[in-house]
Amino acid sequence: MSAPSFTLPDGYSGPVNTNPADDESMIAIYGYTPWLSANSAAVACFAALLGVHLAWMIKYKRTRIFQFLLVLACAMELVGYIFRTMSSKNPFIVIRFVLNYFFIVCAPIFVSAAIYLGLAKLLPGLPPRSSPLGAKALIGVFVAIDTVTILTQIVGAALIGSGYSAQADGRKPAIEPEDANRILLAGLSVQSAASVLFIFILVRVIVRGSRAASGVRTALYLLLASDLLIVLRTLFRLAESAEGTFSGVSANQGLFVALEMIPVIVAVALWAFVPLGRSMVIEADGEREWNGRDKA
């Protein structure tokens, strides 16, 4: 009996599964077979970082929410890369791709939320009006934007995956992949614009807080470095989506490793080596308190 005929999506050059099982697609929605070595390394890195940030969360009471957000991000990245590693054995199992994509796309929102919270925690120790937004407004505005845009990206990505899978299996998708990609692109575009705006705010705070305590300045520079890494990752996703699914960018696994995997690992690792709690906690009146000024 001959294998069923099907039409490959435009631009697709990845592996083909001519006899898929019930839980498989005829194409690898990744566009390639994920590398076992790189993804195993990511699993090891995020597992180690999860342990370190969990330890900092327990040790530093005043930064527990900040550390919890990083713990959550590490846990989600860990789960995502576990499914991606499993896909290196069989890239056609759809649920593995969906879960990998969901966790890896969602995880950076918690890194960003930690960055917003970190800046909000630092503001009381900085000169008045260092930031155009107060601490609560800063967190509320940017977390709300990130949440909406990430959810938009997840919906778009899920529709792209199901659409191409349906086409490859000879079925008509509910939404054409090209239309689903526009949804994904819209979410990424708004998120990228918001990220650039936050960088401007953060740079303004750094300039106006140049006379703050050394611990505060160190934390501000780390916030900027980690945020730039997350923005780099977001711009990669934007370029990937703008070119279209199975384009040269999205089908290049080396770019994924260099511009998605590594930036997030480094952004989280910065706070593992220099935890916010260590930079900001001082002794005052016998208690641990936040204070942005050098102790006299």
Q: What is the CATH number of the domain that holds 175?
A: 1.20.1070.10
Q: Is the pLDDT of residue 170 over 70?
A: no
Q: Which residue has the tokens 């990998």?
A: 100
| Residue-level pLDDT at 34 | 97
Q: Is the pLDDT of residue 287 over 50?
A: no
Averaged confidence pLDDT in the chain:
84
Domain count, the chain: 1
- pTM, full prediction: 0.86
Q: Is the pLDDT of residue 291 over 50?
A: no
Does residue 29 lie within any of the structural domains?
Answer: no
Lowest mean pLDDT across 139-148, 191-200, 249-258, 273-282: 273-282
Residue in 108, 64, 100, 80 with CA at minimum distance from that of residue 276: 64
- Per-residue confidence at 161, pLDDT binned at 50, 70, 90? low
Does residue 14 lie within any of the structural domains?
Answer: no
| Residue-level pLDDT at 261 | 98
Does residue 61 lie within any of the structural domains?
Answer: yes
Does residue 214 lie within any of the structural domains?
Answer: yes
Give the mean model confidence (pLDDT) for residues 232-240.
90
111: domain range? 36-282
Does residue 211 lie within any of the structural domains?
Answer: yes
Separation CA 38–CA 30 (nearest Å): 15
Does residue 83 lie within any of the structural domains?
Answer: yes
| Residue-level pLDDT at 65 | 94
Q: What are the pLDDT digits (tens) for 34-48? A: 999 999 999 999 999
Structure tokens at 41: 């390394």
Does residue 20 lie within any of the structural domains?
Answer: no
Does residue 10 lie within any of the structural domains?
Answer: no
HSE-CB at 81 with a 13 A cutoff on CA atoms is: 27
Separation CA 62–CA 56 (nearest Å): 11
- Per-residue confidence at 143, pLDDT binned at 50, 70, 90? confident
Give the mean model confidence (pLDDT) for residues 112-133.
83
